Amino acid sequence: MAPWDACPDMMSRTRKPTSRGPAQGSWAERLRAESGFTLVEALVATLVLTAGLLTTFMMLSVSTHASADVRAREGGVTLARQITEDARSIPYSQISSSTIVTSLQAMPGLASTSSGSTWTIVRNGVTYTVTASVTPVSDSHDSSGAVDFEQVTATVSWTTYQGKTHQVTETTTLSSAGQDPGLIASSLALASPTWGTAGVSGSTTAPVVTSTGITSLQFSVTAPSGTTAIVWTLDGGKQSSWNGSPPSSGTTWTSSAWSLSGVSDGTYTVGAQAEDSNGVDGPAVTIQVRLIRNVPTAPSVTGYGFNTNFMVSGQPTTVAEVQWNPNPELNVIGYRIYKPSGTMICQTSTTSFSANCGANAWCTSPTACVDQNPPATSASNLTYKVYALYYDANNNLQQGTAQSVTLASGTPVPPPPPPLVSLSVQVLPDDTANLTWTPPTGGTPVSFYRIYRDGDNYTNRYDTVSASSCSATCTYHDTNRTGPHDYYITSVGGTTLGSDMAESAATGPVSG
């Protein structure tokens, strides 16, 4: 009998599909099964996921620190290049190892942030340590041994989060080529009162006078043989009254006294040039002198009050406006304006009068500010304060004396002047334009007229014209016209201080 004959059901049994339970089926079947994953499988999956997340976070951390290192290096390279570039602005005759650091530190952005002898500069949260040196270079083919060039080297170092120290070095070579011909003076310094005495701080190359008891200054300079006179300058202007007598011996020349009576606080550049017998003036040697003897006076406010026709997206809005005259002190660098609540709404400067205004303030110039979220016109406290800003002897920003102004209260607020009439524009052959209008009659008096260009929203304010400059007819010459514009004009004024910023509805547009 054949083997298959002995087991007639064997083939059918071996070919018959078997039924497999969930634990033996495919992954899809196991996922559909109610029994799910075992505890061991879940733990393994958790470990894999945790390892993956840790790896990702480590990569992010490494990437973040790497980016910080790159930014720190970029900042170090930029600082080193700035130092060597600024060194090129120092007169060649003043380049020396003893004065190079103080000369560089007196330049904008290079002042040391530490009080010790170490020169440090903080930028973007990174503290850089700076050194600068001068190396004289002589031409090897020149048997005289004279110095032909000066090499200024700046080294900037910093420490990373890992505690590693990095540094970059920049070198620039300076020569006397291009300097003025003639005798070269050197070692210009404050002679009286001497640097370091009471009321005189700073450094020998940039003294700071802080005492009102110091009424005059004198300067000394070293001049070479053959000098017949010293030409003294103040901010580039010759000061013939400073001419002193030639020294009886030696090479040190001393100026006559510079009277400080009536001189405003601020920073001044004093210069000296050696003059030879032919009247040729050599290159100038200079130092800067800062006068910080008094707190700036309170700003003189010229107008303030509510304005109910402040146009925002075509809708009149009530705001409070304050404007003032620039302070006479030369060391005033900007202003701060405070609300009646004591909150500062704006800080202006001569270079950026809108950068530090809050979300609800707008500055049209360094001496004009608008509070777009003022107190109610019937509020009990409507007093604003304006301060002049200056740097003290330690280069700390300070506020001067406050000027307080109280807006006129009441509901409704005092009415604005009437709108002007008969506005017209004439385009001239030189592509400028003349605006002409008739002043309004009666009603609230006009203090000035406000010119708008290409819209009557507050952002379209363009210029102003004093009402006192015109009588029966007013004109305005737009010399900055570069093409057709739509012009609007409003009347602004009031009866008294505190209510003289009321603005009429706009007249216009006229196109030209």
Q: Verify that 393 and 336 share a domain, yes or no.
A: yes
Residue 485 lies in a domain: yes
Q: Quick check: 290 and 266 in contact, CB under 8 A?
A: yes
Domain presence at residue 348: yes
Point out the domain boundary residue: 259, 291, 323: 291
Q: Which H or E run contains 344?
A: strand 344-349
Residue listed under structure tokens 């009068």: 353
243 domain-assigned:
yes
d(CA 428, CA 477): 10
Last residue of a domain, one of 406, 440, 461: 406
Residues 282 and 364 placed together within one structural domain of the fold: no
Dihedral sign, Cα of residue 191, residue 193, residue 198, residue 201: negative
Residue keyed to tokens 């009415």:
415
pLDDT in tens, the chain (512 residues): 444 444 444 444 444 444 444 444 565 565 555 556 677 777 877 888 888 777 777 776 666 666 778 888 888 899 999 999 888 888 776 788 888 898 898 888 899 988 788 999 998 888 999 999 998 887 666 555 556 678 899 999 999 877 789 899 999 988 766 555 678 888 999 999 998 899 999 888 899 999 999 999 999 999 988 899 999 999 999 999 999 888 888 889 999 999 999 999 999 999 999 998 878 888 889 999 999 999 999 999 999 999 999 999 999 999 999 999 999 999 999 999 999 999 998 888 877 666 567 778 988 888 999 999 999 999 999 999 999 999 888 889 999 999 999 998 876 777 899 999 889 999 999 999 999 999 998 899 999 999 999 999 999 999 999 999 988 899 999 999 988 999 999 999 988 878 889 999 999 999 99
Residue 174: CB atoms within 10 Å? 19
Asked whether residue 327 falls in the same domain as residue 377, the answer is: yes
Give residue 160's pLDDT: 81
Asked whether residue 143 is assigned to any structural domain, the reply reads no
Backbone phi, psi, residue 104, to 5°: -70, -40
Query: What are the distances in angstroms from CA 332 to CA 143, 298, 307, 392, 473?
Result: 54, 11, 29, 11, 38
Which residue(s) pair with 348 in the sheet? 335
Bond preceding residue 414 cis, omega within 30 of 0: no
Which residues partner with 362 through β-bridges?
370
Paired sense of beta strands 206-209 and 285-291, if any: parallel
Domain boundary among 406, 434, 459: 406
Q: Is residue 440 part of a domain?
A: yes
pTM over 0.75: no
* Residue 307 within any structural domain of the chain: yes
| Total domains, the chain | 3
Does 50 reside within a domain?
A: no
Find the CATH number of the domain harbouring 362.
Answer: 2.60.40.10
Widest CA span in the chain: 148
SS3 (DSSP) at 272: strand
The answer to whether residues 393 and 466 belong to one domain is no
Say if residue 347 is in the same domain as residue 431: no
Say how many CA atoms lie within 13 Å of 157 toward its Cβ.
11
In a domain, 195, yes or no: yes
Q: Which of 326, 328, 329, 374 is nearest to 348 (CA)?
A: 326
| Structural domain for 391, as ranges | 301-406
- pLDDT, position 214: 95
Q: Per the structure block, which two tokens stand in for 113?
A: 């942030």
Torsion of CA 256, 262, 268, 272, to 10 degrees: -20
> 42-51 long-range CB contacts below 8 Å, 24 or more apart?
none
DSSP symbol at 53: H
